[in-house]
Chain A
Amino acid sequence: MLQVTNIEKYYGNGGSVTKALNRVSFRVEDGEFIAIMGASGSGKTTLLNCISTIDTVSAGQICLDGIDISTLSSAKLARFRREKLGFVFQDFNLLDTLTIEENIGLALSLTHTDPGSVQKKVQDVAQKLGITDILPKFPYQVSGGQKQRAACARAMVAGQSLLLADEPTGALDSRASKNLLEIMTQMNQAMHATILMVTHDAYSASYASRILFLKDGRLFNELIRGGRDRSVFYHEILDVLALLGGDISDVI
C-alpha cells in the first residue's frame, strides 16, 4: 500500500542545514497498524507530514497505492488527501462550529459524496465507533476521548485507505487513551483500516502490529509484534527505547 524509498528532508540553507530525515525507507502493507516512535526531534512528525503530503520531501519517493505523491500537482494532492488519507491529530482538530455529525460529514462533503447519503454513512461509522449518541452535540459538549473517536470516524468515513494519526492519545487521560487505542485496533482488525501512528508513548505503540523507531532522522530499529502478548510487546518497546537513549519521560 505505502512504499517509502530513501526519503530525505532538509530544512534551512547554506551553512545551517538541518537534516530531519535521512534516507528513510520502509513499506506498509494493506491492513497493517504501524507505530512510529522516537524521541523529540527524531523526525517522526516530519515523516508523517511528508507521507500526508502536508510537507514535501527533499529527495526520495513516497508511493501510495502505486501513486508517487511527489509528482502530483497541488490540486491533485488535495484530491489525493481527501480521497486516500484520513487524519487524527493530537488536539482533535474538530471544527467547533459544527456538530460531531457534521464534523464527520464534512469529510464526505469534501469528496462531493451524494449529499443524500451523507447522513447514513455518518450514522454507520458512528455506530461502529460507539459515538451515535453524541452525533448531535458540539465538540465542546463531549469529552476528549469522544472527540478523538469522532476524529477517527471523520478519518475513515469517506473510505480513505490510510489513517495517519499524530500523537492521537497525547491529549487524553489514560482511560480515554485505552478506549481510543482499542477502537483503533478494532478499526484495523474489523474494518481492515491501515493505520500509521506517530507516538512517543510506549503504551500506545504496544497496540500496533509493527513499530518503526526513528533516531536523528534515520530508521534505527523495527519491532514486530507477531503473535506475542501486548504486555510482552510493551516491555520490548521499553527495552528498545532505553537502547535508543530517548528521554526517561518518554519511556516511563
Chain B
Amino acid sequence: MTLSKLSLRNARRQTGDYLVYFVTVTITAALLYACNGLIFSSEVQKLSSMLRTLPLVIVLASIVVVCIIGWLVQYTTGFMFTKRSREFGTYILIGLENGQVARLFFLENLIVGTFAFTLGILLGNLVFQTLRAILLALFGIPYTFAFTFSCKATALTLVYFVLIYLLAQLRSRRRIRSMKIYDLIYYDRLNENAVLTKSGRRKKIFSASLVFGAIGTLLLLERSLPAGILGSACIIVFLYGFFLSFSSGVPAWFDRHTARKYQGQNLLIFRTLSAKLNTMGIVMATIALLFTAVLISQGTGLLFGAIFESRRSAEACYDIFIGTDSPDQDCGDYIAYIESSVPVAAAHSYSIYQGPDAHITDYLEANTDYYPCYSYDTWMKFSDYAALRSMLGYPAVTMTSGEYLIHCVPYQKSAVAACAQPITTDGATLRPGSIHTENLNQKLWNTNGTDFILVLPDEAVAARPVSHNLYAAMTKEPVSAKQHEALCRIRDGRNLHIAGYTTGYTTIYTAPQVREEYASWTAMTILPLYYLALVLTMTAATILTIQQLSETDRYRRQFLLLKKLGMDQREMNRALRLQFTIYYAMPAIPPLFVSIPFLLNLCNATDPGVTEGFYRPLNIICITLTLFCMIYAVYIVMAYRSLKRNVLPWN
C-alpha cells in the first residue's frame, strides 16, 4: 500500500472519528466563503455608499476567525497526534522513516482540510444567499434567488485555509521528525502536566480568582474606559485562576464535608470533573473566555439592533423632515425645492415655541436619564399638532377648554405625568390634559421638543418667542438619494454646517436615507459580531466535544465497573447525564456572571428609551442566551448521543 493510499484511508477514518471537528471546519469554510462573497459582490457594493467600509470590517473579522480556527486546528491536530502517537511509532518500527510518517500525517490532514474546504465552498454558496437575503431585507429590496459563484471569494477563502492548515501542520511535522520510536510509542501514556501542582497554592488561587471575578464584574459595571479595561483584565485573571485551581478548590471543600461527598452521585461526578479540569484547566479557561466574548458579542449585537431600530423609527417618522435650530432659520428654500421636485402627499411647515419656564425640563434632568437640549420647555400650537397627527395617520385628539396636552416619548410618560403642572398664560390657567406617546420625532435638537412637547391652544402660544422652525412631509414616492443630496446641497449652500452643533445647522431626515444609514450600520456592526460569535461558539464547543468523546473508553470502563458493583441502570444514566451536563455547563457558567451584568449595564448606557424598563434588557439577555444555547446544544446533543451509545451500550 502506498503512502498516499494509507493517508487517504486514515483521512477517512479521521473524518469519522472527529466528525464534530470536521463539521466545524466545514461550516467555518462556508462562513468565510459567504462573507468573502459579500466583499466581492457588486450587488452589495451598490446597496449603499456607506457600505464602502464593509469589506474592511469583514476582512478584520475573518482574520480573527482565521486565528481562532487556526487554534482549533492546531489543538485538534496535537490532540490526534497524542492519541495516535503509538500508531506513528509502529509505522517507524516497521521501517518507515520519520519524514515519511510526518508526510503521511500531513497528507492525511491536507486531505481532510481539502475535503472540508470543498464542502465548505458548496455550503458557502447557500450561506451567501442567506446573508444576501438578510442584507437586501435590511435595505428593503426584494430578494430573488440568483446563483453566483465568486472565484475571488473562493481564492480568498483558500488563502485563509492555507494559513490555518499550514501553520498547524508544520508544527506537528517538526514534532514527528524529531521524535524517537520510544517517545512516540509511550507518548500517549504521558500525563498531561497540571499547571498548578501544589494543593495549598491552588486553594489560595481559587479563593483569589473568585475575588478577582467579583472585582472585575463590578469594574465592568462602571461606565469608564479605564475601569472597563481593568475589569476585563480581572475577568481574564478570574477565569484562568478559577479553572486552574478548581480541581483542588472543590475537592478541598468536599474533604471538609465528607458527608456531602458520599451523598448520591457527588463522589463520581465531582471527581471526574476535577480530574478533567486538573489537566485541561487552561483549555477550559480559554473556552470560558471565548464564551464570555460570544455572549457579549451577541448581546451587543442585539443591543445595537435595538438602538438602530429605535433611531430609525424616530428619524424616519416622516418621509421628509427638516428642522432648523433657530428662529432665524426658515425652511423656505427647502420647501421650494421639495414642491418643485418631490411629489408630496401632505406637508406642514410650523414652529416650535419657547415656554416661559423649564419646569418639566428641569424635572426630567434631575430625575431621569435626560439630556436637555433647551433651557426652556418647548411648546407647540394645537393646530400644528393636529396637522402632524393627521399626516402621520394617528387618531385625532381633542383639547378640552382649560387644558393643555402633552406629547412625549413613551419612556418619559410617567415622569412627565408626575411633574406636569398647571400653566398660566395670558391670565388663563391651563391644566395638564391627556398625554400622548406616538412617534413624532422628538430626538435631541431641531425636532418636536426633546423627549416631550406641550401642546397649547394656538392663541396661548402665539405670543411666545419661536424656538425653531420645522417642516414635515409625506411623499407619494420614496425620496430618492439624489433628492436627498439636493436637500443637503441647499444646507451646504447656507454655509452654516461647519461642525456638528454649530448654530444654523439644519437637520434633514428623509426616510429612505435613514433606512439606508441604519441598514449599513447593521451590516457593518451586527453582522461581524454574529459572525465572530458563531465561530467562537463552534470552536469552543468542538474542543469540549473532542475532549469528551476522547474519554469514551475510560467512561465505558468506569460504567462497566459500576454495573458490576451493582449500580442501578437508572442511576448510571443519571450519573452520565449529570457528569455531561456539568462538564458542558462548567465553562459556560462563569461567563454568565460576567456577561449578564455587563450587558445589563450596557443596556443602561444606550440611548434613553431603547432598553427602558425591566422587560427590554431581559429580552435582550434571553435572546442572547437562547441563540448561544441553540448552537451549543447541537454539539452537546451530538456528543451525548455518541457517548451514551458507546458508554452504556447495554441500555
Contacts and interface: CB of A to CB of B under 8 A. Distances in A.
Interface of A: 52, 54, 74-75, 78-83, 85, 87, 93, 95-98, 102, 105-111, 113, 115-116, 118-119, 154
B622 to A, nearest CB: 37
Contacts of A115: 258-263
A102 B275 CA distance: 14
A143 B445 CA distance: 81
A199 B566 CA distance: 23
A81 B262 contact: no
Contact of A81 (B271, B565, B571): B565
Nearest to A82: B566
A78 B107 CA distance: 49
B568 interface: yes
B568 A106 contact: no
A75 B571 CA distance: 10
Interface string B540-583: 00000000000000000010011111111111000000000000
Contacts of A111: 566
Given A74-B569, A79-B568, A81-B566, A109 B262 contact: yes
Nearest to B566: A82
Contacts of A93: 561, 564
A139 to B, nearest CB: 12
Contact of B566 (A79, A105, A118): A79
Nearest to B272: A97
B564 A54 contact: yes
B141 interface: no
B554 to A, nearest CB: 8
Given A95-B558, A115-B259, A116-B259, A106 B566 contact: no
Nearest to B255: A136
Contacts of A98: 267-268, 271
- The 7 A-B residue pairs with the shortest CB-CB distance in the complex, in nearest-first order: A82-B566, A81-B566, A97-B275, A118-B262, A115-B262, A115-B259, A116-B259
A81 B274 CA distance: 29
Interface string B258-289: 11111111011001101100000000000000
Interface string B23-35: 0000000000000
A105 B267 contact: yes
B551 to A, nearest CB: 11
A35 to B, nearest CB: 21
B279 to A, nearest CB: 11
28 contacts: A75-B570, A78-B563, A79-B566, A80-B566, A82-B567, A85-B566, A87-B564, A93-B561, A95-B268, A97-B271, A97-B272, A98-B267, A105-B267, A106-B267, A107-B565, A109-B263, A109-B265, A109-B267, A110-B565, A110-B566, A111-B566, A115-B258, A115-B260, A115-B261, A115-B263, A116-B258, A118-B262, A119-B258
Nearest to A95: B558
Interface residues of B, number: 26
A78 B567 contact: yes
B568 A118 contact: no
A121 to B, nearest CB: 10
Given A52-B564, A116-B258, 14 more contacts: A78-B566, A82-B567, A95-B558, A95-B561, A97-B271, A97-B272, A98-B267, A105-B262, A105-B267, A106-B268, A109-B263, A115-B260, A118-B258, A118-B259
Interface of B: 258-265, 267-268, 271-272, 274-275, 558, 561-571
Contacts of A79: 566, 568
A17 B259 CA distance: 51
Nearest to B258: A119
A108 B262 contact: yes
Which of B261, B558, B562, B564 has the most chain A CB within a 10 Å cutoff?
B564
B265 to A, nearest CB: 8
A75 B568 CA distance: 6
Contacts of B561: 93, 95
B565 A87 contact: yes
A105 B261 CA distance: 10
Contacts of B568: 75, 78-79
B248 to A, nearest CB: 13
A140 B564 CA distance: 22
B99 to A, nearest CB: 36
A98 B259 CA distance: 16
A102 B267 contact: yes
Contacts of A105: 261-262, 267
A102 B271 contact: yes
A133 B41 CA distance: 72
A10 to B, nearest CB: 20
A79 B568 CA distance: 7
A85 B558 CA distance: 18
Nearest to A108: B262
A97 B268 CA distance: 8
Contacts of A107: 565
A223 B263 CA distance: 45
A66 to B, nearest CB: 19
A126 to B, nearest CB: 14
A4 B262 CA distance: 35
Contacts of A96: 275
A95 to B, nearest CB: 6
Contact of B565 (A74, A75, A82, A118): A82
A110 B567 contact: yes
